Amino acid sequence: SLTLTAGCTDRVDTLVAPGTAPAAAPSRTLRSTTTADPQLRHRASGLCITVPNAATADGTGLTLATCAGGTAQSWRTLPVGTAGPITVYAGSKCLTLQYGVTRADDRLTIRGCTTGAGTQTWTSNADGSFRNPFGRCMTVVGIASAGTALTATTCTAGLAAQQFETVAPGPAPAPTPTP
C-alpha cells in the first residue's frame, strides 16, 4: 500500500495478497528533496527570467516571460554579497556569459556548471543587481517584454534594467485594484 502523510513524506509497505497476513518487513520513509526554487523577476517589468521552451541545451539564450513557475523559471541564487553560480534545473545548469570577457554586451545563456568559472560567477547585490567578476551586470536591454533577451552590460548603479528580485515560485498574483 502507499500512504501519503503530512510533511511531504510517503511510506512504502509490502503488498500482501488478500486473506494473508503481512510479513514483518521494515518500512521505509522517504522525504522529498524537491523544494521549488524561487523565480528571478525583473523589477521594472514584472517578468521572470526564463529558459525558452524549457530547453536544456548548452548555449540556450535566456529571455523574459510571464511568471508562471516551472523548472525553466526556478533559479538558485546566493545571499546578498555572496559570489557564486546562479543555477536552474535543480543546479544542473548555470547562468553563463556566452562569450566570456571579450564582449561588452554578452548574451546570457545556460551551460553545464564548471566549478570556479568566471563566466558563471555572479555576486548578488542589495540593489537587486547581479554582477560578474568582469564588471558586468545581468541586464534587460531595450523594451522589457516577453521574449526580450538578457545580456550582461557595464554595471550602472540604480539602473532599472539591471534590477531583479527573487519571488516565490508560481504565477504572479493579480494586481490589487486601487479605489
pLDDT score, position 2? 32
pLDDT score, position 115? 83
Contact 64, 50 (CB under 8 A): yes
Q: What is the dihedral of CA 145, 149, 154, 155, to 10 degrees?
A: 50
pLDDT score, position 171? 63
Summarised one tens digit per residue, pLDDT across range 82-116 is 999 999 999 999 999 987 766 667 899 999 999 88
Q: What is the DSSP letter of 39?
A: E
Summarised one tens digit per residue, pLDDT across range 10-55 is 333 333 344 544 444 333 222 223 346 899 999 999 999 999 999 9
Sheet architecture: strand order including 87-88: 75-76, 87-88, 93-97, 106-112, 150-154, 136-140, 130-131, 122-124, 83-84
Q: Mean of the pLDDT values across residues 151-159?
A: 92
Summarised one tens digit per residue, pLDDT across range 122-147 is 999 999 999 999 889 999 988 899 99
pLDDT score, position 143? 85
- pTM of the model as a whole: 0.73
Question: Higher-confidence residue: 81 or 13?
Answer: 81
Joined grid coordinates for residue 109: 545563456
pLDDT score, position 21? 47
Contact 5, 11 (CB under 8 A): yes
Is the pLDDT confidence value at 158 over 70? yes
